[in-house]
Amino acid sequence: MSSEALELMEKAKTSERMWVVFSGHSELKILHFLKKGFRHCFVVLNDGKNWITFDPLSHHTEIVVQKLPFSFDLIGWLTAKDYKILPANPNYKRTKPAPLMLFTCVEAVKRVLGIHDRYIITPYQLYKFLKQNNQIKKEN
């Protein structure tokens, strides 16, 4: 492994590099029963050079390296667009498989974060869980 890769890995361990983004937007009418502002969620990552989005949609999952300058404040931009955003600290210490659940945006984000709680099924429940269980460093 190159020294640059090792340096990036070390930086990622010591600084915020992952955020969960909560949105009130949904084109699926079936999701309109969910709490306003919490109808969808996705993950934004920063690897030290690039902004990457992991967006589990109903018809496919988008994983995109965003063509943005590293200096662009993507988190600030999303916050200005009324998204709720929480920095996240993934927990990869578990070795047991996650419980079998329907594939939803919440379940996909839980897998990215290493959360195995089967009772978290809505974006708002995930938001509350992250805040209550110290999965965040600070709220944006």
The tens digit of pLDDT for each residue in 3-40 reads 554 454 455 444 558 999 998 777 666 666 667 778 89
Model pTM score: 0.78
Cα 102 to Cα 10, 59, 105, 111, distances in angstroms: 34, 14, 10, 12
Q: Residues 79-114: pLDDT tens digits?
A: 999 999 999 988 888 778 777 788 889 999 999 999
pLDDT of residue 31: 63
User: 87 with 16: CB under 8 angstroms?
Assistant: yes
